[in-house]
Structure 1
């Protein structure tokens, strides 16, 4: 599997966010996203309008539509930037020069840490991620693909090194791990798992069970 850099990831996520207009690297686009991000965190995605964003920047709503065709398009772009930090973090773990067993453990831990940061500590970001999941925005589908492919790389490496069993179909193993890990990276489910320390204890137990099931 080929490596992806942070720039590659940013490009992938940009491609996955519909409703974009104008040059991708325009400084005004970045200003719009930065202001929208702040407003979404302060007031929530649902309560923030395109007019609110335009007013904060000091331009007309019509001007914003030169770059995004709707509030959803702005929301998807903000969401993509937030999720890309999680994607980059778990990809970095997958590329480490360590045994696959350790990388899988660290990747699931990193997924939880990033989810806690985005979904619980930055509560308004929780709001926009929930909206994106409920409405099946393409950015969350892209994020799910990245998580799956990261798991797939680690498991495949573990099979090649003899750390993991090879009898079970690879896609079945990766899907099972992805579904199991979903509770620790979903904003709504995460909020029901208890305090962060308890979550880490539960994740350790789940990870130990996963690794035992992968043993040759």
Structure 2
């Protein structure tokens, strides 16, 4: 299934990928120790050994750096979910795997580092472009599974596809959105199975 990757935030200045990668790597490490909100571009410049003005040649703001870091994490989730879906050619099983992969990948990436979690929380709160594209990609993957299920006769066809896609996405959303995930932590072990079973029963033709 086609899965467009979350675009990297556009940077300014020459396309010197190694320098951008160095800035992002240093920022990731610094954010993980001191937190995203407490770190300034001046702090990063001091740690990396570049001038603040030089960093601004590649990134227009601290948020731009945060978006690239967040985008890297979201692309990991997208890739993992897509791979999980690809492990089966049966739409009902694909949907089960999608629920499971979304939850497990989100837990691992959002909570393996509490400081970096601040970036994900800021991204979700402020609706960064990386988050908007990520949500659209997950919805597209879901729509493709549903469409395949309708063609195979596994899923009902009466409800408009877009309506079904959004309804199921909203069921999944507490396990995708970092702000909501922290309140659903106690249910993450059982939720993928129970929710996907419920959804599959509702999709029965």
TM-score in terms of structure 1 length: 0.89
User: Equivalents in 1 of 2:54, 2:100: separation in Å?
Assistant: 42
Q: 1:39 to 1:205 in 2, by over 3 A?
A: same
Matches for 1:140-155 after TM superposition, within 5 Å = 140-155=131-146
Per-residue CA deviations over 1:95-129 (Å, capped at 9, x if unaligned) read 34420111111011110011101222221222111
Map of 2:153 onto structure 1? 162
Does 2:54 match 1:63?
yes
Gaps of 5+ in 2: none
Map of 1:84 onto structure 2? 75
Q: Does the 8 Å contact 2:12/2:60 carry over to 1?
A: yes
Question: CA offset at residue 132 of structure 1?
Answer: 1.0
Question: CA offset at residue 193 of structure 1?
Answer: 2.0
Size of the aligned set, in residue pairs, is 205
Q: 1:209 to 1:25 in 2, by over 3 A?
A: farther
Does 2:203 match 1:214?
yes
Map of 2:63 onto structure 1? 72
Gaps of 5+ in 1: none
User: Equivalents in 2 of 1:191, 1:144: separation in Å?
Assistant: 18
Q: Decide which moves more: 56-65 or 173-182.
A: 56-65
**Higher RCO (CA < 8 A, seq sep 6+):** 2
Map of 2:21 onto structure 1? 30
Does 2:39 match 1:45?
no
Map of 1:3 onto structure 2? 2
Q: Decide which moves more: 114-123 or 98-107.
A: 114-123
Q: Does the 8 Å contact 2:123/2:131 carry over to 1?
A: yes
Q: 1:194 to 1:68 in 2, by over 3 A?
A: closer
Q: 1:90 to 1:25 in 2, by over 3 A?
A: farther
